[in-house]
Amino acid sequence: MKVFSTTQLRRNTSEILEAVQCEPVIITRYGKSLFAMISREHFDAMQRALNSANLGKEAEHPR
């Protein structure tokens, strides 16, 4: 996972957006993690996995 500062984000936005297409990216400020950036494709996959897991829990414990 690549790590960039907020200054790098301002100066090299296109480079960072390219990196996000391949892997999650962490944005830091003053050396501390501030944000995690992921591609839309990765986000959608995570949402599908979460929804699938939640559906499985509902099937195990119906209301």
Q: Which domain holds residue 51?
A: 2-60
Please give the average pLDDT of every successive group of 10 residues along the chain, which has 63 residues: 96 96 96 96 94 76 60
Looking at the structure of the chain, the number of domains it has is 1
Question: CATH number of the domain that 45 lies in?
Answer: 3.40.1620.10
Rounded CA gap, 1 and 24, in Å? 6
The length of the chain in residues reads 63
Rounded CA gap, 57 and 26, in Å? 31
The SS3 call for residue 39 is coil
CA distances 30 to 5, 20, 34, 44, 50, Å, are: 8, 21, 9, 30, 32
pTM: 0.74
